[in-house]
Each structure stands twice: as structure tokens, then as C-alpha cells.
Amino acid sequence: MCGIVCYVGQKQARPILLEGLKQLEYRGYDSAGLAIQQEDGIACYRAVGKIVELERKLNGVDINGNVGIAHTRWATHGEPSEANAHPHWDQDENVFVIHNGIIENFIVLKKKLEKHGITFRSETDTEVLAHLIGLNFNGSLNEAVRKTMSQVEGTFGLAVIHRNAPGEIVVARRGSPLIIGVGEDGHFAASDVSAMVRHTNKVVHLEENELATLTTEGFSISTAQAKPIERSTETVEWRAEDAELNGFPHFMLKEIYEQPETIKNAFRGRLEPGEGVPKLGGIMPVWDSLKECRHVVIVACGTSYYAGAVGRYVFERLTEIDVEVELASEFRYRKLNFPENTFIVALSQSGETADTLAAIREAKRKGARLLGMVNVVGSSISRETEAGVYNHAGPEIGVASTKIFTSQLTILTLLALLLGRHHNLSLTEGVEAIRAIQALPELMKDVLSQAHHIEAIAEKYHKCNNWLFLGRKYNYPIAMEGALKLKEISYIHAEGYPAGEMKHGPIALINPEMPTVAIIPKDDMYEKMFSNIQEIKSRKGPVIAVATKGDDDLREIVDDVIEIPKTLDFLNPILAVVPCQLLSYYCASLLNRDIDKPRNLAKSVTVE
Ligand code: M6R
């Protein structure tokens, strides 16, 4: 949730750190700070609010140094305040620490440290790390961090500098990602490659319970038991310009418009049209077991969960497999009892969501096999699953997930189709499905071309305080996702509901002030959805229909229509979600919300 960026090298650290923080701001953004080694000690500055506030504070301040650590925070312990912002330091102001994660035994440790006369300046769990490292320092910063790792429980990605260890940064990881960047004139460390991708695309991932010392000349990795580790660099494919707005007012809008391309990236090189079969190289290591598997559990959170919920219907349509879809945060508390050869499919943009990680670890303990569908290459979920499929969608910066959702739906469909073709699905059906998948990017452009029309609809309804989203079958999860998008970026209350449940309660809410977004493409649920819409209209509720092009009957009874082109039933959700994304975007924009960084949220939720 929080972000870390560090630099040691021949250049001035300050501009590199500030620029890196801006790239990380999407992860958390209630306060920020940095600490830089100078000849006469360590300069540390912190500010509440966005990175621009820290920049303001540094205006006119002379900092000269090329070793530094920086952090952007999303509060877990203690309110967003300067005192709680990172870096934190020890009693003697020698050690400066930044930290992502949660130190679970911090209260016990804090009490012990207070008994030894240490005064705490913040309410954070991180401050115990600073004091412990300070007390454990005996000439070697690496040793001090190693000893501290054995004293703390919980999760951390951390970075430390010490007044008496000039030219050195020590970083460590347990449960929170840390990546080392190898540059031409120095070394970087960050919680996310986007913070250093402008300077280098050569990275080394730190594994669980490892620590590393970085200097200008090199880096050395070792385990918490001091065993040296040799690890070669990997090259990341993300480009610096992927993290630019390129003329769009917000990343969310840019990412909505990227979808024709990101869908194409999800199937590029993965289709054999003549055979009606997708090919997914990433799952080949487990293919022999996977093709025999008859039970799949999809686990995920938030928008990724809704992608999984659509995926269940698609699997049921195309394969012979029993599919469950579970919220990762609940899954691990269930009594897990899997049939033999059960595969868990973990869906995650970031690959770092704590609940999803915890869910796959628990499932593995209970004997399940693990597949990952992840966007961030080298992320924890991609490393802890046996095999998987990457989205290859480039960085998603807007906190509200958009392009990854449609990319996830595309990949889930490819997997279902691949398995279905090994079960009962005919060549004709396979070829038809592949043709329809290939057509999606152009159809998506057609939906996007209605942006102005959707903006006008948002203009009409953005002051309504309560919204309902309805759908059935494949599009029930789209109703849920539409409501989530509206809530998170516009702060308007919205509920997503399976349309059939309407008359069991929510219909009591319908009134002329409460718009309903009805997802009603021409599919096998059409007639039933049509009746539900009539029920709303007879109670004077305004209805915005997301409907198949040319549906004149529907146009006569609803207030507004957003058209999507005709495609196969199980592909409708990929198109139907786009009007919901745009509707939320324009409502939020009309309400002057902070669209890319909505209040209280963080892009990557690394706490349970
Ligand atoms: O990185 P993940 O896909 O695992 O993230 C899951 C959710 O935290 C995420 O989808 C969240 O719900 C978004 N804010 C939705 O827009």
C-alpha cells in the first residue's frame, strides 16, 4: 500500500527520490518523506498530503547527497500526520528507516523499549524498527538489520540508512515486495518497478526473508541466516512512457481507452484460429494435471473478484469443470476440503494483495495446485504459484481498476476455451469463439466512441445520491463491478444486485431520484431482465440500459440507452463494463473528485 524508493549512486539522490515517489503515489498518498546522507549527517524531511507537499517543503532547502531513502504512506497505525510519516529514526538520530507492512508484535516491543528509556515520537509500528536497528548496530548495518529481523513478527519491506554506514543502504523483505534496480551509475531499490523504470529496466527480486546491502558499485544479497545468495538480473518490459498521462486528464481515463490494446495484448500470440484452441505457454508446466482437473476455485479481491465471478459462468459454459469463486479475504477461514487435483486460480493486478496471497498459501497447505493470473511480472503471487498467465497490460496507475478487469476476462476466457476444447467443445465452437475474441478490440472502440453520450448521461444523474446496478448471469458481476467503480471514485452510494433478487427487497428503494443501470444485452437472460426493468419503470425509477445495438423495444421503455455491439453471450461482459467505467468516471469528474487517488484507498492492498 505504501511505496518505497531508494537510490545510492553517483547522482544527486533528491530528484531521483522525488520523481520515484511520484510514480509510487498511486500506492498510498496520505504523507511522504525522505532521508538523504550528507557529509555532516542525515537530512530528513516529511510532509502530510501528496508528494507535492513534500516538494513544497524542500523548496529552497539545500540537500547535497547521493544516498537516500524515500516513502509514500497509506496509514495503518496512527493518523496521517507528519509525526507518523516515514522515515522514522532512533533515539540518537543515527538510523533512518522506511517500511511497508505491519509489525505485529510492535506493542510488546514498544513497551520493552520504553522500559529501556526510549521515547517514541510517533504512533507507528515502524518506529520500533528504527530503535531496534539503532540498538543492534555494532559497526555493520547489515548485521543490525538481520538481528532486528529475528526480533520482529509481521510483514515488512524496509530500507535503512545509518549515519555511521556512509554510502550504504540496507533493504529487507518479509511479505512485502522489494526489488533492486541495477543502473549504470548506481543502484535502486523500490517496492514497485515503476519507481525506477526511468533509470533502469534491470532488476533483481528480493525473496522472502532476504536482505541486501546496496552501494554505488554493487549489491549483495543474503538470507536472514547470513547465507549469501547469487541471483542474476531480469529485464522488465515496462517503459517509462507507460506511466505518463499522454494528454489524458487522468490515468483512469487513459486506461479505459487503452482497453482495445490491452485486450489484444491478452490474446496476442495466444490463439490458434484454425484449431479453435488458445495456447497458453505459461500454464504448460502444469498442463498434464490441469487438463484432467474437474474442480477449480478462483480467489481474488475487489475488481479481480468480479472478473473471477464472470469467469465462473464462462468456465461453466465452455468446460466440464465445477468452478467456485471466493473472496480471498473469506476463503482462508473456510473449512477447506478440496477434491484431488483441484486448481486454485488467483487473480490479481498487483500480484501483491495480502488476502489473495494468504488464500493461496492456505490452499497450498491443504494440497491444492496453484495458478496465477497477474499483471505485475515477478510479483509475489506470480512467484508463489506453480504456473500462470500474465496480462501484459502495462502498469495500471489509476486506483480504480479498469483495463486489468477486461484483460482478466479475456485471459479467463482463453483458459476456459483451452480446457473446453479438451473436454466437449467442438472445433466449430472453438473457431467461432476465437473469431469473436479477435473482434473484441474493434467492438470495444465502438463502445468508447460513445464517451460523449455517456458524459451527457452522467451530467443528468451525477447529483443522485443512490444508484442501483442490475444484471443477470454473465452480467450480474458487471452490475457489482459497475457499483464498485461508482462508489470508489465518485463516493456516490451504489449497490450491485442480481436482477432476480430485486423483488426480494431492494425494489423498496426505487423512486424517481434513484437511477438504475441495467445491463441487458440480447442474451438468454434478456426477457427476464426486460421484466425487471418494467418493474422499476412502473415505480417511476429512471433506468439507464446498457443494451445490444438496435434494441428498439427497450429504447421505448427506458430513459437512456448505451449501446454495445453484438458478440457472443459470454463475451458481453467485456464490452458491457466499459459504459459503467465511463459513467463512473464522468460522474466523479463532474463532482470534482480526485479520480486517480480516491480518498482512503490504495492501489495495492498489502495488509489483511
Ligand atoms: O491487485 P489486485 O487485483 O489483487 O487488487 C484487488 C483489489 O484491491 C482491487 O481490484 C480494488 O478493488 C480496486 N480498487 C478496484 O477498482
Calculate how far, in angstroms, residue 603's C-alpha sits from the geometric centre of ligand 1.
7
Per-residue pLDDT band for 25 (boundaries 50, 70, 90) equals confident
Please tell me the predicted confidence (pLDDT) of residue 27: 67
Q: Model confidence over 423-436: pLDDT tens digits?
A: 999 999 999 999 99
Is the shortest distance between the CB of 382 and ligand 1 below 6 Å? no
Which range, of 215-229, 250-264, 330-344, 532-546, averages the lowest pLDDT? 330-344
- Tens digit of each residue's pLDDT (9 = 90 or more) over 307-356: 999 999 999 999 999 999 999 999 988 888 899 999 999 999 999 899 99
CB atoms within 10 A of CB 508: 9
- Comparing 3-241 with 450-597, is the CATH topology the same? no
Comparison of pLDDT for 561 and 73, the residue scoring more: 561
| Domain over 450-597 is classified CATH 3.40.50.10490 | yes
> 349 in ligand 1 pocket by Cβ < 6 Å?
yes
Is the distance from the beta carbon of residue 400 to the nearest atom of ligand 1 less than 6 Å? yes
Domain ranges of the chain: 3-241, 245-251+259-437, 450-597
> pLDDT band at 78, cuts 50/70/90?
confident
Structural domain 245-251+259-437, CATH architecture:
3-Layer(aba) Sandwich (3.40)
Provide the 3-class DSSP secondary structure of residue 520.
Answer: strand
Total residue count of the chain as it appears in this document: 608
Task: Identify whether the C-beta of residue 155 lies closer than 8 Å to the C-beta of residue 175.
Answer: yes
Nearest CA residue ID for atom 11, ligand 1 = 302
Amino acid (one-letter) located at 33: G
Q: Tell me the CA–centroid distance for residue 407 and ligand 1, in Å.
A: 14
pLDDT single digits (tens) 121-142:
999 999 999 999 999 999 999 9
* Ligand 1 near 353 CB (within 6 A): yes
Residue 478 has pLDDT above 70, yes or no: yes
The CATH superfamily label for domain 3-241 reads: Aminohydrolase, N-terminal nucleophile (Ntn) domain (3.60.20.10)
Query: Is pLDDT above 70 for 298?
Result: yes
Q: How high is the pLDDT of residue 28? A: 63
State which of 298, 303, 584 you would mutate to test the pocket of ligand 1, scoring each by most atoms of that ligand within 8 A of its C-beta: 303
Residue labelled with grid coordinates 486517480: 596
> Given the C-alpha cell 513544497, which residue does it identify?
56
What's the rounded mean pLDDT across residues 355-374? 95
Which has more pLDDT, 589 or 80? Answer: 589
Question: How many other CB atoms sit within 10 Å of the CB of residue 81?
Answer: 15
SS3 percent helix, strand, coil of the chain, rounded to 5, is 40, 25, 35
State the Cα–Cα distance between residues 287 and 297, nearest whole angstrom: 17
* Residue 301 CB–ligand 1 contact under 6 Å: yes
Half-sphere exposure (Cβ direction) of 203: Cα atoms closer than 13 Å: 26
Residue 604: CB within 6 Å of ligand 1?
A: yes
> Residue 386 has which C-alpha cell?
506453480
pLDDT tens digits, one per residue of 565-591: 999 999 999 999 999 999 999 999 999
Ramachandran category for residue 78: left, alpha or beta (phi over 0 → left; psi -120 to 50 → alpha): left
Pairing type for strands 516-520 and 466-471 reads parallel
Share above pLDDT 70 across residues of the chain, in percent, rounded to a whole number: 99
Give catalytic residues, as residue numbers: 2, 603
Q: Whose CA is nearest to atom 9 of ligand 1?
A: 302
Are 129 and 84 in contact by the 8 Å Cβ rule? The answer is no
Q: Which of 255, 326, 349, 490 is the pocket-test mutation for ligand 1 (most atoms within 8 Å of CB)?
A: 349
- Average pLDDT score, the chain: 94
Instruction: State whether the beta carbon of 379 lies less than 6 angstroms from ligand 1.
Output: no
DSSP, collapsed to helix, strand or coil, labels residue 495 as: strand
- What is the atom index within ligand 1 of the atom nearest the CA of 356? 4
- 302 close to ligand 1 (CB < 6 Angstrom): yes
Q: What's the pLDDT at 587? A: 98
In this prediction, residues 148-159 reach a mean pLDDT of 95
Q: Quote the ligand 1 centre to 182 CA distance (angstroms).
A: 29
301 Cα–ligand 1 center, Å: 6
Nearest CA, atom 12, ligand 1: 302
